[in-house]
Structure 1
């Protein structure tokens, strides 16, 4: 009798279906600043965590919380239960310690505070094609965050956090030898400019964003001690020209908008560049066959939640828009994880 090898399994269905459990465990740890605490204390037992975080749950709940984080690879553990000693992993110590410049937890904080609830309405978003964020209350999300310093700081840190690994990789992988100046359009806290300047001593960079963001970027630049080669500029990239530079970068900017506005922004970038200058979009570029980069496709759905009309795109899409904008050639540079730099040369 022939042995059956392809048996049905519910494993992946349950893994994805319960995915919000795993997400909430990590987001809660970040909201508690748990990894920052571990960076300060180096090691802690479950009872130490319970006392520091003032948790009123049972000891068993704390063991479950910390051991799940351990299985996920976010903590290290020696011993078990009441004898267990926990500590950060290299990744969490580097990227989730709030006191380090490499902290990327801002995006996770925003996911916990805003997006987690909004994504509960994905079905409604698909049915209506309308945003599911503050816009449901007839409020302009971007207008709201720029009015509220705390919301603006959270959003700025989130945009920096989701891209920090990409910025670090881009600053070291892209060949800057032919260029001297860079402007980061929608530069948020200025981290891309800072990473490029840090790893390329000949480069002079400008972080360009709306006026309320400038104090946040200026403070970050001072923190890194690179104010001699990293500057800020203020303005609205839809109502004014992009300042001239050898390289124009947009990180997580194009995906906010519909196709017409994407092409308009790329044309503005083209006009700001000299001959042989480079326009670079750093985002979760979806593979052309739409079979591999699931993060890019989920981010595209996030644009439905946030903007209604924005979407992430493939490199083939980027090539088509670059051609319309007048660029002569393109290339794709893989960065950290599922993200890439889509490059168009003038």
Structure 2
């Protein structure tokens, strides 16, 4: 007897309408709804309407809030006019702008930039060209960012947001005990260095990024009270050697570039490490069979949108590049969700 499950349109509709729940969440982040609820506690729908200055009907107000409840971002006590809404534990932890664990920066970037650019994925696949600001005649992304402090701050917040859970996990899971110095190359706001210093008090940590980012990192380090253990320095890791350190990390850096530049960055890390030192790439490393890590595959397509020739990679790819560079061995450390730390030891 054939027990094969009959065809169903359910998954087709779920994926095809996937932009609906995404836009509901992104809109709530745009409204800072979760930040307001973290401050106010439970609130009825009409109080939320007044707080956010919404002009929609009662019906659509409840549709919006109840959809967030069904999606797992809001808790609801009561029903309809008697309902009281509050943050779910995940939203409370990661979507309140006043908390250091806020990851909404990446969601803000999804909403403000990538939501529109992904409309042109087909064009990117047809042409092989980036489909971000460059397609509209603007300068490349990083040139544009370094000219505009407000946009740069938004980008830095986004990069922190997408990696904050992984930074926390790496600081706790990786064995830093054999090492004394840590460098985060392309460290943005410096949060990874802060997390490593917090969980490993014997480590001296440095976050390195372009000069335009250094002020943001210094302010973040001061905010966390970590100035005695973490320093921010500026530099260009393509045109200059990396500072020496026992452990060198790059979070969401390698995937920005083509294979030639990935190998160049690995060589720079190798040259800056002592014998026995470790290089760590924190990314959505794709499973070797390319069957499971959908987020990693989608992130790689996002690199097409953003950079044209950047791409995400499997651990087998990383292992090949590391061995080609001269590293002795590699390991893969799962972090949060679809992300891992690909580690190469010198």
TM tier, smaller? over 0.9
Distance 1:157 1:25 in 2: 21
> Aligned pair count?
345
Q: Give 1:193-204 correspondences, 5 Å limit.
A: 193-204=193-204
Q: State yes or no: 1:219 paired with 2:219.
A: yes
Instruction: Name stretches of at least 5 consecutive residues in structure 2 with no aligned partner.
Output: none
Matched residue of 1:330: which SS?
strand
Q: Give 1:109-188 correspondences, 5 Å limit.
A: 109-138=108-137, 139-188=139-188
| Match in the other structure for 1:40 | 39
User: Which aligned runs of 4 or more in structure 1 are off by greater than 4 angstroms?
Assistant: 2-5
| Match in the other structure for 1:284 | 284
Matched residue of 2:43: which SS?
coil
Residue 120 of structure 1: CA displacement? 0.3
Residue 3 of structure 1: CA displacement? 7.7
Residue 5 of structure 1: CA displacement? 5.0
| Match in the other structure for 1:70 | 69
Residue 34 of structure 1: CA displacement? 0.4
Cα offsets for 1:291-334 (capped at 9, x unmatched)? 00000000000000000000000000000000111100000000
Cα offsets for 1:218-265 (capped at 9, x unmatched)? 000001101011001101110000000000000000000000000000
Cα offsets for 1:36-71 (capped at 9, x unmatched)? 000010111110110000000001111010111111
Residue 137 of structure 1: CA displacement? 2.4
Distance 1:126 1:253 in 2: 22
Distance 2:257 2:150 in 1: 25
Distance 2:2 2:12 in 1: 25
Q: Could you state the TM-score of these two structures normalised by the residue count of structure 2?
A: 0.99
Distance 1:32 1:198 in 2: 32
Distance 2:176 2:141 in 1: 36
RMSD (Å) for aligned C-alpha atoms? 0.8
| Match in the other structure for 2:89 | 90
Q: State yes or no: 1:107 paired with 2:113.
A: no
| Match in the other structure for 1:207 | 207
Residue 289 of structure 1: CA displacement? 0.2
Residue 4 of structure 1: CA displacement? 5.8
